Amino acid sequence: MSETLGIVGGGQLGRMLAMAAARLDVKVVVLDPTPDAPAAQLANQHIVAGYDDVDALVDLAARSDVVTYEFENVPAAGLEALESGGKLRPGRRALSVSQDRLVEKEFFTSVGLRPAPYRRADSHDDIVAAASELTASEIAGSRVDGGEVIVKTRRLGYDGKGQLRVSVQDLLGADNTDGTDIHQQLGGVPLVVEQLIPFECEISVIGARAVDGSMALYDPAVNTHRDGLLAQSVGPSGVDQAVINAATTATRSLLEGLEYVGVIGVEFFVLADGSLLVNEFAPRVHNSGHWTEAACLCSQFEQHVRAVTGRPLGDPQRHSNADMRNLLGDPAEATAEMTAQGDWMVHLYGKTEARPGRKMGHATRLTGPAAL
């Protein structure tokens, strides 16, 4: 008898999980408030309900052998409803840590990892004090005095949302009565101020941990962002083996520390001296791992389904080098061009409305065989 996987969230990640699940004869039930959600188009069942609808979440758990999620911001009441049945993978701890940037950074430190220097901020004055302190220090031999900081909301930020890049000079000249109060611009919510890091590149590691504690990690990819959105991920990353070893060791530490089951995406800054800072993690399949769909025998999506349903993990080895591009906004022109070229694997998400900056799909081109 086929198992059933419940997925909270019906976006493109849920859609690709549903595709991978079907190959393993795993049925899928999606909970999403949008009737034509991308994942719902391919799911066996669709519960049309909000993520804070506890009764609907209980229903999802009842219909499923195991429940997972495609985004981090599941409300606390929903988490309780899902975890009470012991079916939630990854578990509540990973979600709770990832939902709060301050808690996340404190957790990194607790497992021996180094995040970018940061300070908590709960007012405009806190932001000014934190920015003045953070920009008067050095990291990796680079002095950042008089530079800029990133001010981020502690919760509900993704794809460049919920954050502002500001200079100390602007902060010191700000008049809180004329609308330039940064705290109020970001909604008056608890914040974190981060030092703006002079990094050489950003890499990400996609890792997985099974129910029995075994792990599988994919090669790091190097990422390029535009306007706060991931634009491109390329593998291999081109960084030194020592950097790769450090990033994979750090990812293993996170998986162990969280007692994690499933796929995780971890982003790192590579500094000029070859050291690493951990930026953030996502307790789910990750955009920077979409290249695994074309370049690996077992994609990150199949790996996640394997992990959460208690199956053995697949081989994460990359058989080809890969170049993955996000298709943002209206993808028609880019899709037509890539299709005509014939060497791009184009994957569109079934979204009905294209908006500037909205992820409508991705495309991956294999650029040669992986080195043995």
Q: Say if strands 221-226 and 320-328 run parallel, antiparallel, or are unpaired.
A: unpaired
| 168 pLDDT more than 50 | yes
Does residue 97 fall inside a structural domain? no
SS3 124: helix
Supply 128's token pair. 């000014």
Q: Could you tell me if 264 and 349 lie in one domain? A: yes
SS3 46: strand
Cα–Cα distance measured from residue 44 to residue 179, given in angstroms and rounded to the nearest whole number: 49
Nearest Cα residue to 361 out of 330, 339, 323: 330
Note the pLDDT tens digit of each residue in 125-142: 899 899 888 887 766 555
Q: Say if strands 148-153 and 163-167 run parallel, antiparallel, or are unpaired.
A: antiparallel
Note the pLDDT tens digit of each residue in 32-78: 999 999 999 999 999 999 998 989 999 999 999 999 999 887 877 77
Note the pLDDT tens digit of each residue in 317-347: 999 999 999 999 999 999 999 999 999 999 9
Does residue 56 fall inside a structural domain? yes
DSSP E strands: which ranges in the chain? 4-8, 27-31, 45-47, 66-69, 118-121, 138-139, 142-143, 148-153, 163-167, 191-195, 201-209, 215-217, 221-226, 229-235, 262-270, 276-282, 320-328, 344-348, 359-369
Does residue 131 fall inside a structural domain? yes
What percent of the chain is modeled with pLDDT above 90?
75
Buried b (16+ CB within 10 A) or exposed e, 198-210: bbbebbbbbbbbb
| 169 pLDDT more than 80 | no
Q: How many domains does the chain have?
A: 3
Burial class (CB in 10 A: 0-12, 13-18, 19+), 329: middle
Q: Could you tell me if 33 and 136 lie in one domain? A: no
Answer yes or no: are the C-beta atoms of 31 and 7 closer than 8 Å: yes
Residue 37 maps to which CATH number? Answer: 3.40.50.20
**Domain interval for residue 175:** 117-195
Q: Could you tell me if 184 and 236 lie in one domain? A: no
Nearest Cα residue to 8 out of 59, 162, 36, 26: 59
Answer yes or no: are the C-beta atoms of 30 and 47 closer than 8 Å: yes
Residue 134 maps to which CATH number? Answer: 3.30.1490.20
Q: Could you tell me if 231 and 335 lie in one domain? A: yes
| 358 pLDDT more than 50 | yes
Q: Which residues contact 86 (CB under 8 A, 6 or more apart)?
A: none
Cis peptide before 90 (omega within 30 of 0): yes
| Boundary of a domain, candidates 195, 229, 254 | 195
